[in-house]
Chain A
Amino acid sequence: MEANALHDLTAAYALDALDSEDARAYETHLARCERCREELAELSDAAGALAYGTETPVPPPELRARILQQAARERPNVVPLRPRWVKPVAAIAAVAACTAIGLGIWAASLSSKLDRSESRLARQERVAQIVGQPGSRTISFARGTLVVAPSGEAALVLRNLAPAGNGRTYEAWIAAEGAPEPAGLFEGGGVVAVPLDRPVPEGATVMVTKEPAGGRKSPSSQPFAIVRNAAQS
């Protein structure tokens, strides 16, 4: 579609009156067109005002509760990166409750593109075994999910991990009381499932860094993923 034709779609887009194909073309155009962005901001406010033109019966009170519950279940357990990560992370967001949803997404993804290499296959089986243990908990965070079995055996599932690069590897770490201890090496990928080499005690923090191939005994760079196995409430 020509640019002029795309400019003309602003009002229809503000009203959600485009078919999905046109909407996508318009969004692509929008990223490059300052004029359309300005116009859309204005027309969207007018369209949004139309929402007030309707009768407004009171929604059932359960709706509010349901939305808040679902949000709490999805709450990411994100820990801000700290310059001195070696210190135990104190201010941590509340633990996400078991997220069946997060689990479902990567479980489906795992089975759909099962890795053929044997070592990975074995890892995935190991992860599946940890996840399958009764009483396993999942803790979601920005980059993925940590699964901890009641025994402390744990697995990390990470999404959209770029390749570590030449001569580099990803390394997982577990920090309980003292210095972080190495917990396994792995490669990048769309969905990466890593069984951790040692148990994760309650209160311990799991981290991931990029290290030279072969891994190290202690981390040499800042972790880009941190998740805490916070005590169950």
Chain B
Amino acid sequence: MSETARPVVRSFAHLSDEAVVALLARSDESALAELYDRFGRVAYGLALRILRDDKLAEDAVQEGFLTAWRNADRFMPERGKASTWLLTLVHRRAVDLVRREDRRRAEPLSETVEPEASGSAEDDAWLRFERERVQSALKQLPDQQREALELAYYGGFSQTELAERLGQPVGTIKSRMFTGLARLRELLAEPGTGDAAWKPTPYTT
């Protein structure tokens, strides 16, 4: 019966994010480490942008990853990408914290926040590429839509708070968020990247 013991997977490089999450659902700690290595930095950057405090950002990332660890069996590949699922968990936690702490500020983050310690050259290059891609897509949105998305996603404001803050009916805010997000999706799905055609590979033993 000992044959049922699974061989320890040491290298995850060939696995899709979704396959790593499938291993996570089997309480495989090395899968958690892999997931952290793939998304820890983005998650931390996001939490820091929302919370503007190192310690709180670390808390949000830790709680987000541990929620993933506890609930990996609830991840459904047909409902979206694994990266989205994980980053949503971290985002939600950061938003909870910022609402509780009420640390939100309206001003956009100053552009001078440069990462002091750097990771690997590949990570740096890739993250910079992604950042520029997303920022340039955001810049293509009408100002009001971009504002609604940024304040909601990076500021942690609820739609009700946004309506008050911007002096607009909630319905207007809703429609700005919807139109903005739908347009952002189109802008990011550049033809030729293969992203749209990509299908998660189901994990099998």
State whether the Cβ of A74 lies closer than 8 Å to any Cβ in chain B: yes
Q: Which residues of B contact A57 (CB under 8 A)?
A: 41, 44-45, 48, 113, 115-117
Contact of A45 (CB < 8 Å), options: B114, B160, B185: B185
Given A44-B84, A57-B116, verify A11-B1 contact (CB < 8 Å): no
Interface mask (B25-57 → A, CB under 8 Å = 1, otherwise 0): 001010011001100111111101100001001
Q: Which residues of A contact B130 (CB under 8 A)?
A: 52
Q: Are A55 and B80 in contact (CB under 8 A)?
A: no
Contact of A51 (CB < 8 Å), options: B29, B42, B175: B42
State whether the Cβ of B20 lies closer than 8 Å to any Cβ in chain A: no
State whether the Cβ of B134 lies closer than 8 Å to any Cβ in chain A: yes
Q: How far is the CA of A40 from the CA of B79 in the complex (A)?
A: 8
Q: Is the interface of B mostly helix, strand, loop or mixed?
A: helix
Q: Are A67 and B36 in contact (CB under 8 A)?
A: yes
A42 to chain B, nearest CB (A): 6
A228 to chain B, nearest CB (A): 13
Q: Are A56 and B61 in contact (CB under 8 A)?
A: no
Q: Which residues of B contact A50 (CB under 8 A)?
A: 134, 138, 149, 153-154, 184
Given A17-B158, A48-B87, verify A56-B36 contact (CB < 8 Å): no
Q: Which residues of B contact A126 (CB under 8 A)?
A: none
Q: How far is the CA of A170 from the CA of B59 in the complex (A)?
A: 41
Interface residues in B166-198 (C-beta closer than 8 Å to A): 171, 174-175, 177-178, 180-182, 184-185, 188
Q: Are A63 and B61 in contact (CB under 8 A)?
A: yes
Interface residues in A64-110 (C-beta closer than 8 Å to B): 64, 66-68, 70-72, 74-76, 78, 80, 82, 87, 89-91, 93
Given A55-B49, A57-B115, A87-B1, verify A46-B185 contact (CB < 8 Å): yes
State whether the Cβ of A214 lies closer than 8 Å to any Cβ in chain B: no
B160 to chain A, nearest CB (A): 6
Q: Which residue of B lies closest to A15 (CB)?
A: B152
In the complex, besides A51-B46, A54-B46, A56-B115, 18 extra interface pairs with C-beta distance below 8 angstroms are: A11-B182, A14-B181, A17-B159, A43-B178, A48-B84, A49-B184, A52-B127, A53-B131, A54-B48, A54-B49, A57-B44, A57-B45, A57-B48, A60-B54, A63-B40, A67-B36, A68-B29, A91-B3
Query: What are 5 of the A-B contact pairs (CB < 8 Å)?
Result: A11-B180, A15-B152, A52-B130, A71-B66, A78-B27
